[in-house]
Amino acid sequence: MKKIALFGECMIELNGEPFGVMYQTYGGDTLNTATYLARVSAPHALQICYVSAVGSDKLSQSLLTYWQADGINTQWVLQDENRSLGLYLIQLDKQGERTFLYWRNQSAARYLLQHPHFSEISNQLSSVDMIYLSGVSLAILPESDRELLITYLTKLKHSGVEIAFDSNFRPALWESLAQAKSCYHALLPLVDIALVTFDDEATLWQDEDEQQTIARLSAYSIPKIIIKQGKKGAIAYQYPQPIFVPTTPVEQVMDTTSAGDAFNAGFLAGYLQGKSLASCCHQGNQLAGIVIQHKGAIIDKSATAHLLAQFSTIQ
């Protein structure tokens, strides 16, 4: 059985009209990926562990119950007696594109590495096959903790653990472009699978096209590079040439909130079974295409239930 540890933060989500009806749920980029990965993976084939911190309040405990019901192993989710969950509000335009407001500066997950029991987790992470994290996983941490996390990841890399990274650049979470670039420069040489969105790469690195993104990431000796292109599809690059994997258009886009996270889940579900990069990207496109037709970061599990048997088939 393969074992993957996903590192990051989950927050309470408010979704609705300002000064109108608001719906409360939850989400966070790596938690979204963990959830969808658990939903489309056979339990006997993959163990999905989330690495984070929550509060000790009832709301935090309710989250753990939901995650466990989805098949996520929460043994590495620490409880912080002094802090609780972050909060974000989503506003959608008529095209389903979203803007966010965040309240997360004192969230438990931000101070995960300072938790007195985090060292117990870090000592166990060498038992996993893959670590998955994102640019948000890095951005929310205090700077000294980012450096410490990269030190941990360096040791895991040398012990044979694969590192998968979604750059997921969010400018509001960084002090400056220079700070984000410096942190990414330190991490990217450790990465085995880069799962990036071209729009993010263009914003952070001023890439003019996908070939420039491939060339830049290849300079870090990253073996597998996946570039997400939204409604166009994805590009998978493994030396010597890229492969384009198109999407199937959907009739109506309701909410793109976790499209990239869902793509990553579909991709990793295939990758951890040994499928080709093209097949993995096809799974990612397929799962994301379903998710964007519903509101919220995490949709009802019935919408993706049919993918479990399909994705479990070795191609």
Annotated catalytic residues are 261
Q: Which two tokens stand for residue 146?
A: 């980012």
* Angle, alpha carbons 185-188-192 (nearest 5°): 175
Q: Distance of CA 254 to CAs 13, 118, 208, 213, 250, Å?
A: 16, 38, 29, 29, 10
In our burial notation (b when 16+ CB lie closer than 10 A, e otherwise), range 219-254 reads: eeebebbbbbbbeebbbbbeeeebeebebeeeeeee
For the beta carbon of residue 144, count every other beta carbon within 10 angstroms: 10
The answer to whether 264 touches 284, Cβ cutoff 8 Å, is yes
Other Cβ atoms closer than 10 A to 55: 19
Total residues belonging to the chain: 315
Whole-angstrom distance, CA of residue 153 vs CA of residue 159: 10
And the tokens for 36?
């969808």
**Helix or strand (DSSP H, E) at 45:** none
Q: Give CA–CA dist 47/37, Å, rounded.
A: 10
Please tell me whether the peptide bond between 240 and the residue prior to it is cis, using omega within 30 degrees of 0.
yes
Nearest to 287 by CA among 38, 15, 24: 38
User: What is the distance between the alpha carbons of residues 41 and 298, in angstroms, rounded to a whole number?
Assistant: 16
Q: How many helices (H) and strands (E) does the chain have?
A: 11, 13
